[in-house]
Amino acid sequence: MREYQHNNGKNEDPDERQNRPDGNARKENLDEKKTEKDIEQKEDEKLEEYGQMTLDDNANKRKIHLISIIGEVEGHENLSGNSKATKYDHILPKLAEIEDDDSVEGLLVLLNTSGGDVDAGLAIAEMIASLSIPTVSLVLGGSHSIGVPLAVCTDYSFIVPTGTMMVHPVRMTGMVIGASQTYEYFEMIQDRILSFVSTHAEIAYDQLKRLMLNTEMLTRDLGTVLVGEETVKEGLINEVGGIKDALKKLYELMETASR
């Protein structure tokens, strides 16, 4: 026969009392839930402030870092608070951390940028290109100007069917001295961009320069706008596709790298 003990005016089954979690167990459960909530909150804050997050909740149990390059690539001067911007001083340290973290197996770069500072953009592109882990980029709305090197700096690149890329000569804001040395300086900057893109994409240097100096497409500027499949035909982007295709390719590259 079961014995019942009087507890605060209620009869309690000894078996139920034994199975009930004690105070320490309840505290541990609460601490675990609090830790999970804190981690989720930090991830949300990181996504909101830096446009970055870690993708690790997948069937493949792979850890991928996501970086988004959106708006304007900010240079040495801060843009106005009303402008969406990608700050190179946020991206570069994170890329160094990714390279040093053995648990990160791949990098996915999402692009929807109007361009921006040449030095900052090339610095990010060079650093992504030098990573030892597999990298894949996906051009969404557009990747214009200095966004072109950022799109081609990965191991493999995608663009959505309606995505656009604009190739145009280097522009400079502010006061410019009209001298031959200024022109030569512009030529040097353009050569840096042309050399990087032609090295990391399938397009030839001379063909890219022709697109950059095209006078027939834009009414008030030089350059060429390419849409979706056109970027693949010109050799800038590897393939037309979306996020599904980009992740699938990244998993394939990661699987090959792990062998």
Where in the sequence numbering do the catalytic residues fall? 145, 168
Tokens coding 109:
């770069």
Per DSSP bridges, beta strands 224-227 and 164-167 are antiparallel
Could you tell me the two tokens for 43?
Answer: 């991830």
Alpha helices in the chain (DSSP H): 14-19, 23-50, 88-100, 118-129, 147-152, 180-200, 205-212, 229-233, 243-257
Eight-class DSSP state of 80: P
User: By C-alpha distance, which of 234, 142, 235, 145 is closest to 189?
Assistant: 145
DSSP 8-state assignment for residue 238: S
Cα dihedral 58→130→242→85 (10° resolution): 100
Burial of 192 (0-12, 13-18, 19+ CB in 10 A): middle
Per the CB < 8 A criterion, the answer to whether 153 and 125 are in contact is yes
